[in-house]
Every structure is written in C-alpha cells, then in structure tokens.
Amino acid sequence: MNIIENIEKEQVAQLTEGKNIPDFKAGDTLKVHTKVKEGDRERIQIYEGICIARKNDGLNSSFTVRKISFGEGVERVFPLYSPNVAKIEVTRIGKVRRAKLYFLRALRGRSARIADDLSAQAKAKNNDK
C-alpha cells in the first residue's frame, strides 16, 4: 500500500506544479475558473457558489459547489486536481458546524444564507500581507 501512496503523492505534486490551491472548506463561497473547450477554441468560465462538500481522497479529491441559477439550484462536482480547473478563489469564508451542507438543498432564500466567519477572514488577510 505504501507504494501506491507514494505514486499518488508524486502525481498530486506533478498536477499542482503551477497551481495555487487555497485552503477552503464547506461553507466557503468559491469562484472556480474552469477551462471550457468549444471546437478548436478554449476559454475560461467562472462558476461561483457555496462549497457544500469536500472529499479528501488523495488523487481522487473533489468538492461540490452549489449555486442558485434563475431560481433553480445547480450543483457541480469538481475534481480538485483536474487540469480543467484553472484556478480556485475563496470569495467569502463561511461559519458552519457541519462538514457536509446537504441540508441547503431543501432551503430557499434567506434561510439558505451562511454567516461569515470574520475571525477566519481576518487571519486570511493577515497571511496575505
């Protein structure tokens, strides 16, 4: 098993060479920049929403982002180390007490809001300086 873990770590290091993956958790509002290929052209599309789940499983790590688009809830699961994910930005840091926020699927409007974690945002700003 140790050999597999070593190979996986090498793969993760190779895939994250030019990328900066921020620390984020469920409850954070993210902007995920994805590469979209249309014919022979390639462009970057931004998907912004709340991270409702994160799965840490080495090379198979992924996260789920949910947003409300035209009154309809839309969720996308992004592989963390995918070459199609160009960049991840943390817009807001949310204060939640759960690892998975699947209960947000049933909520609408103001009840689906997540409070800001002001202490974590202050720490993040100090680390950026």
Question: CA 129, CA 118: separation in Å to the nearest integer?
Answer: 17
pLDDT digits 0-9 by tens, 36-66: 999 999 999 999 999 999 998 888 899 999 9
> Which residue from 21, 29, 127 is spatially nearest to 80, judged by alpha carbons?
21
Summarize the confidence of residues 2-7 as an average pLDDT: 88
**pLDDT confidence band for 1 (50 / 70 / 90):** low
Question: Could you tell me if 30 and 49 are in contact, meaning their C-beta atoms sit under 8 angstroms apart?
Answer: yes
pLDDT digits 0-9 by tens, 103-121: 988 888 888 788 888 777 7
In order of their start, the domains of the chain are 2-128 (2.30.30.790)
Assessment of whether the complete model's pTM goes beyond 0.85: no
How far CA 76 is from CA of 39, 79, 86, 119, in Å, comes to 22, 10, 15, 28
Question: Could you tell me if 6 and 74 are in contact, meaning their C-beta atoms sit under 8 angstroms apart?
Answer: no
